[in-house]
Amino acid sequence: MMTGQKVVCIDDQFPGPVKKLYTALPIKGRTYVIRNVYSARSIAFPSQPGMGDGELGVLLVGLNNPPDPKSKYGQELGFKADRFRPLEEIKDQVAKYDETTV
């Protein structure tokens, strides 16, 4: 995944305590544009510093959230990249069709 890429949300199920931290959440089936990709953590409330680090996170155009309360850098709360898949544009599908009909 990269900045500027269009993606579709495939998982919009967030645990209750996590939902309370966000002001804007993605909705399954909707298309978004990635505005930043960063190294995130996979555990919302780690019991030890650094626990769960190394997950790929994304920030999305149109969804702005407060800073992550566990980030020492004031990083905005983002989303695990696994919650999204790249959007397949129609031209991509046409190219695949052309390849199979040759």
At 55, which amino acid appears?
Answer: E
Q: What pLDDT is stored for residue 72 in this prediction? A: 81
Instruction: Measure Cα distances from 30 to 7, 49, 89 in Å.
Output: 8, 33, 14
Instruction: Please tell me the pTM assigned to this model.
Output: 0.76
- Each residue's pLDDT tens digit, 37-69: 998 766 555 545 544 556 899 999 999 999 988
- 14 and 25 in contact (C-beta within 8 Å)? yes
User: Contact 43/52 with Cβ under 8 angstroms?
Assistant: yes
Pick the more confident residue, 1 or 44.
1
> What is the pLDDT at residue 82?
94
Across the chain, mean pLDDT equals: 84
Sequential DSSP letters for 29-65: T-EEEEEEEEEEES-SS-SSTTTTEEEEEEEETTB--
